[in-house]
Amino acid sequence: MADHSPAFVKLVDAARARVRECTVADLKARLDAGQHPGRDFVLIDVREESEYAVDHIEGSLHLGKGIIERDIEARVPDTSAEVLLYCGGGFRSALAGVNLVDMGYTRIVSVDGGVRAWRAAGYPLTTGGPSLG
């Protein structure tokens, strides 16, 4: 992981204080218990489109951090829906999550550690699937 500037880390820490987080193990346990993204919760990959194309968690939708605020209402109109966000390591998802909270979404969860922690745990990743932007 790259070294991040102190100002960026401070911004992320403030976002994490306002957004609920779960671990990759928590997400995997939900999937193993039969919960399905798209039915039981919304799982959104906020990484860049090029990152999503390489690999992502099965069932996730791509709605990149650069456009999520613009497009979320059309893609997830129910502001009470549970929305789990992940990125590479948990920083961008926390930042995106704060904006969704500010937009009125009440059940936002950032997946701490993101896809790097998912990959490190040996959990499966896939390619292809729906990219929403």
Positions marked active-site: 87
Q: Residue 108 CA to chain centroid, in angstroms? A: 9
How far is the C-alpha of 98 from the C-alpha of 75, rounded, in Å?
18
How far is the C-alpha of 125 from the C-alpha of 104, rounded, in Å?
31
**Alpha-helical regions (H) of the chain:** 6-18, 24-32, 49-54, 68-75, 91-102, 114-120
How far is the C-alpha of 86 from the C-alpha of 125, rounded, in Å?
13
